[in-house]
Amino acid sequence: MVFASLEFLTLFLPAFLLIYALARPSWRNVILLIGSWLFYGWLSPLFLLLHMLLTVVAWIGGLLVDRSREDGKGRVRLLIALIVFNTAVLCWYKYANIVAGTVSEVITWYGAMPLDWQRVALPAGLSFIVLQAISYLVDVHRHTVPVERSFINYATYISMFGHSIAGPIIRYDWVRRELSQRYFNWANFSLGARRFMIGMGMKVLVADTLSPLVDIAFHLENPSLVDAWIGCLAYSLQLFFDFAGYSAMAIGLGLMLGFHFPENFNRPYLASSIQDFWRRWHLSLSSWLRDYLYIALGGNRGGAWRTYRNLFLTMAIAGLWHGGDSWNYLLWGAAHGVALCVDRAWSRSNLPSISPVLAHILTLLFVCLAWTLFRAPDFHSALTMYAGQFGLHGMGLGDALAVAMRPAHGMAVVLGLVCIIAPIWQVRCEQRFGTRPWFVAAASLWPVAGFVLSFALIASRDAVPFLYFQF
């Protein structure tokens, strides 16, 4: 069950919201927890048991860390053990398949039989749940947050179905007070519903419409220059609107229930440098990597060499975190690590500064080329796409992509651009027109219209999973 499905929109969400609204405020965490566990159980009962296990271990671990002596080594060892446990669970589900596949390929080179391996399925949202658990444990150790003594409150935090499947990565400190007291009222509900509808439109109208085109482009044997760049640019839009759409829906759901989650995107394709891009893209992950990995490695302390090393290692690990079906993710993270190092070195040197327009073009070009590596199913496919992007397979539009392209794809691109630009226009219009009735009505109607059209499309075709469900 995904947000953009009939089961969620017509069964689960209305029933849950009705029960949540009728419940006493003191019971709403229990209702949210049960609803979240039912949501996970709908996806897979086995994964629900794993989710419960991780929740119990992290909650008890937080209590033990809090009770440990401040100056004792046992406190640090306990924290390390808890982090290793969570990381080991994540690594098993993330990387068992690719390690087994790599070992199988190596031994077949020497004439041995390939491994008889049964693929391990990745539980939805495991990556985000593990990062939230680790951040909570580290914050308790650092005394950044008080330990949560209520299992219901902690389990509600870690299990909220609105964001735990694909982010944002919510830290305990951000919702600690609202877990105890929050306002479930019409103002929050209406603002959250509007945000949810906007996210639905981004996902269904733009990302899902571009999905078939991207699939065809990335499976061409010899893509031309036009084929490869259409596929690359379409995927860049698909990934952004799929993930940013999910984040908007998660933020909207949280607001409907009385929680205020932080923004997860800030128009990343308008970035003027790689550093600027990572200040705009997946903000909750970027800040998590900075606070719990980059700084833990030493950050920018210890000289330039260690700073560049830490930047590279942080991004390489971020690449590994994204997936285990291919080593492409590691290469993608390493490429961004190198780009961050080059960006930092250039900005701190006596080399001439780059004009803003050229800086934006170079940043967007690198990001799109890196997305090719991110999307390709394996390294050979990525090389094939890169060969096409540099014109090694011809220049013109190929027959397969020409047949697949529809006016709806162009409309999706236009809608995507409107979604990017509309918030900027809306702010400027609000400054000019204020709260005039006709402007307020127009600003309120376009999310509703997009949601109605999205619902009609969902009803006419199968639900398309969110891309970040696989991470």
C-alpha dist (Å) from residue 299 to 278, 288, 306, 307, 313: 16, 13, 8, 6, 11
Helix (H, G, I), strand (E, B) or coil at 288: helix
Domain definitions of the chain by residue range: 6-181, 186-224+235-265+398-471, 268-397
Q: What is the structure's pLDDT at 353? A: 83
Which tokens is 257 given?
């229930």
Question: Active site includes 409?
Answer: no
Which tokens is 308 given?
């560049």
Residue ranges in the chain whose pLDDT is less than 70: 1, 71, 166-167, 324, 416-444, 446, 462-471
C-alpha dist (Å) from residue 360 to 270, 277, 335, 355: 7, 10, 18, 9
Rg value, the chain, Cα? 23
Query: Does the pTM exceed 0.95?
Result: no
Please give the helix or strand (H or E) that residue 347 lies within, else none: helix 328-347
Question: ∠ CA(352), CA(357), CA(360), 5° rounding?
Answer: 95
- What residues contact residue 298 under an 8 Å CB cut-off, 6+ apart? 306, 310
Helix (H, G, I), strand (E, B) or coil at 19: helix
Locate tokens 């969620």: which residue? 8
Q: How many other CB atoms are there within 10 angstroms of residue 425's CB atom?
A: 10
Cα distance from N-terminal residue to C-terminal residue, the chain: 16
Q: How many other CB atoms are there within 10 angstroms of residue 194's CB atom?
A: 20
Q: What share of the chain is helix, strand, coil (3-state, %, to 5)?
A: 75, 0, 25
Name the active-site residue from 322, 360, 393, 409.
Answer: 322
Helix (H, G, I), strand (E, B) or coil at 386: helix
Task: Give the sign of the dihedral formed by CA 314, CA 315, CA 321, CA 324.
Answer: negative
* 181-188: long-range pairs with CB below 8 Å, 24+: 181/25, 182/257, 182/258, 182/259, 183/258, 184/20, 184/21, 184/25, 184/28, 184/257, 184/258, 185/258, 188/255, 188/256, 188/258
